[in-house]
Amino acid sequence: MFLSDFFIDPSCFVSIQFSMKELSRLWSHAGLPLEALTRLQLTGKSYLPSSFDISSAATISIALTALAASEIHRLRTASTSTVTIDQRDACAEFECHSIYKPDINLPSPSLWDPISGLYSTKDGYIRLHANFPHHRYGLLQLLGLPTSATSEQVASTLLQWKAAEFEQIATDNGMCAAALRSPEDGKIIPWLNTLQILMPLMAMFHL
């Protein structure tokens, strides 16, 4: 089973109108001139399948940056320009690390350790992050595997674990592992409740 088969909510593929609304809200919150928004156009459809609205995040962040650059250009030259952002192009920019090829005659280099990734467990799925050597070694140690273990060996061993149990043990030992949860299950875990209390996690200030 692939990640795209797991808890993908169709509502994550939202409209351009939603992206434009959020973009306008952030632009206004930053105190930037609202008339600049009339020079912005969003096109295309959501592209990245995810339980989170990654396509809109990509589109909005790139559009805000491009529009800000356009506004700086207007202030410097008194010349206005239209900014057009296609959602598919924005998603490609977010994934550019995976399509960049230093040598077109060779496969793209992997950015991940071989044992990093999504695995099935006894009752669900868990994602391991093992890019740092000490994270790789620690996870393999918790699984009772040698440092030379393959992803196939990791996959076989994780089938003996429940996702949340291994996540907890990994966390207690300073490792990086995250059990996949449905939105409903996610609402009852303590750290998410803490995040909701602490929200917002980011604030903007005028300098």
The per-residue pLDDT of the chain, averaged, comes to 83
Please report which helix (H) or strand (E) contains residue 169, including its range.
helix 163-172
The residue type found at 68 is: A
- Cis status, amide bond into 200, omega within 30 of 0: yes
Give the tens place of pLDDT for each residue, 103-150. Answer: 777 776 677 899 999 999 999 999 999 999 999 999 999 999 999 999
pTM: 0.60
Sequence-distant (6+) residues with CB within 8 A of 143 are: 149, 154, 157, 158
